Amino acid sequence: MNYQPDSVTSITLSAIPLPLATPISDAKVFTGRQKPMTEVAMLFVEIGTAEGCSGIGFSYSKRAGGPAQYAHAKEIAEAALGEDPNDIEKIYTKLLWAGASVGRSGLATQALAAIDVALYDLKSKRAGLPLAKFLGAHRDSVRTYNTSGGFLHASIDEVKDRATQSIEQGIGGIKIKVGLPDSAEDIKRLDAIAEHVGGTPLMVDANQQWDRTTALRMGRVLDRYNLVWIEEPLDAHDFEGHARLTTALDTPIATGEMLSSVAEHRRLIETRACDIIQPDAPRVGGISQFMRLLALADEAALDVAPHFAMEIHAHLAASYPRETWVEHFDWLDPLFNERMEIADGRMIIPDRSGLGITLSEQARRWTTDTVTID
């Protein structure tokens, strides 16, 4: 059977602010660098083709940048019209050059990411395969940990209650936030949670709020807890500082979520600045770029724990040769008609084709701006 070319005929962009039930605070709030987060700005892309195929993708921004992502995507999306949707790398490059004057990382590629993800969703749907199977899965489930219950705005009792709920729901690990101005308070919270969860795998996340001296001192204290990792102990771009910590500490160092290009991640890998790399597909430009990054990580024998957006990252993590951790956030649940299944500490890869998600009516109601380019 000969292949019949298809073409992109429509691209619908939707700006959807996702309200959070409770304002969220991590260490950046307590050090005065940011305000509590009250919503996540979502950019959704729905692509249609001449042959009647469709795909959905998304990107996001926290606290700032959502309207700018939407505006940039609106400017460049026309470049994909008429292209064969199977030629994802070609389309990515064309879109990249359409917006080249604002660079090849950060907001520019985060806007492009939503289109790239939608193209992968479309292509795997056309093949009748879940995205993980389309990419080539190594497993049908991935280890998962809860991170949305351990924020610093919550009391110790609240964090303990949420940890109990997560474990009972089948979550395999618990992460809590640290990085308070008073490190003794961090240790107090960690002691309480570590005792409460017993042998359940435990991680901590400082959200870049320690300097090198504090990170080393705290790291030496944290070594006694047998943590799965210490996340973002330093500024995300302090590659040398992170590299020193990976050498000095027994506890693995995890970082990478705030980096917004493959080039930045390559430097992280080349300097051996982490034991566990935490890329974010929407932040680095989509699935095309994420898969390039995974190849580099695999060559360097690094573990991987993608950041946020589990609806995308579960599929990508399943395609990595080594066992991974995927972050479980329930924040995005209201946006979709489907739910990720959790059992025995693992997130099950959906058997639906593509990403396996469809936008809910609630998401449609939250939409503040939408445009179809055809």
Mean pLDDT, residues 61-89 taken together: 94
Q: Is the confidence at residue 152, as pLDDT, over 90?
A: no
Query: If you average pLDDT over every residue of the chain, what do you get?
Result: 94
Share of the chain above pLDDT 90, in %: 85
Reported confidence tier of residue 334, pLDDT bands at 50, 70, 90: very high
- Greatest mean pLDDT among 1-10, 62-71, 105-114, 359-368: 359-368
83 is in an annotated binding site: no
The answer to whether residue 113 sits within a structural domain is: yes
Q: Check residue 65 and give its pLDDT.
A: 82
More confident residue, 229 or 98: 229
Q: Check residue 105 and give its pLDDT.
A: 80
Statement to judge: residues 100 and 172 lie in one domain: no
231 is in an annotated binding site: yes
Range of the domain at 193: 132-348
Mean pLDDT, residues 43-62 taken together: 96
Report the C-alpha gap between 114 and 14 in whole angstroms: 11
The answer to whether residue 3 sits within a structural domain is: no
The answer to whether residue 353 sits within a structural domain is: no
Statement to judge: residues 292 and 254 lie in one domain: yes
Statement to judge: residues 231 and 155 lie in one domain: yes
Statement to judge: residues 262 and 301 lie in one domain: yes
The answer to whether residue 2 sits within a structural domain is: no
Q: Check residue 327 and give its pLDDT.
A: 94
Q: Check residue 217 and give its pLDDT.
A: 97
183-242 pLDDT, tens digit per residue, is 999 999 999 999 999 999 999 999 999 999 999 999 999 999 999 999 999 999 999 999
Q: Is the pTM of this model over 0.75?
A: yes
Overall domain count for the chain:
2
Reported confidence tier of residue 93, pLDDT bands at 50, 70, 90: very high
Mean pLDDT, residues 82-86 taken together: 97
Catalytic residue numbers, as ranges: 177, 307
Residue 58, classified by CB atoms within 10 Å of its CB into exposed (0-12), middle (13-18) or buried (19+), is: buried
Statement to judge: residues 25 and 47 lie in one domain: yes
74 is in an annotated binding site: no
DSSP letters, 121-175, are: HHHHHHTTSBHHHHH--S-SEEEEEE-TT--TTS-HHHHHHHHHHHHHTT--EEE
Q: Check residue 285 and give its pLDDT.
A: 94
Radius of gyration of the chain (CA): 20
Largest pairwise CA distance in the chain:
68
The answer to whether residue 269 sits within a structural domain is: yes
Give Cα 362 distance to the centre of its chain.
22
27 is in an annotated binding site: yes
More confident residue, 316 or 40: 316
63 is in an annotated binding site: yes
Q: Is the confidence at residue 29, as pLDDT, over 90?
A: no
Mean pLDDT, residues 74-97 taken together: 96
Q: Is the confidence at residue 27, as pLDDT, over 80?
A: no
The answer to whether residue 297 sits within a structural domain is: yes
Q: Check residue 98 and give its pLDDT.
A: 87
CATH number at residue 52: 3.30.390.10
CA-wise closest residue to 359 among 109, 57, 91, 133: 57
Q: Is the confidence at residue 1, as pLDDT, over 70?
A: no
Statement to judge: residues 282 and 267 lie in one domain: yes
Q: Check residue 38 and give its pLDDT.
A: 84
Number of helices (H), then strands (E), belonging to the chain: the values are 14, 14
272 is in an annotated binding site: no
195-211 pLDDT, tens digit per residue, is 999 999 999 999 999 99
Statement to judge: residues 152 and 101 lie in one domain: no
Statement to judge: residues 189 and 93 lie in one domain: no
Q: Check residue 106 and give its pLDDT.
A: 81
More confident residue, 191 or 64: 191
62 is in an annotated binding site: yes
Statement to judge: residues 72 and 158 lie in one domain: no
Share of the chain above pLDDT 70, in %: 100
H, E, C per residue of 324-343:
CEEEECCCCHHHECCCCEEE
Statement to judge: residues 41 and 176 lie in one domain: no
The answer to whether residue 1 sits within a structural domain is: no
Statement to judge: residues 299 and 364 lie in one domain: no
Q: Check residue 24 and give its pLDDT.
A: 76
Q: Is the confidence at residue 32, as pLDDT, over 90?
A: no
Statement to judge: residues 172 and 264 lie in one domain: yes
CATH number at residue 147: 3.20.20.120
The answer to whether residue 290 sits within a structural domain is: yes
Joined together, the tokens standing for residue 360 give 């809910």
Q: Is the confidence at residue 172, as pLDDT, over 80?
A: yes
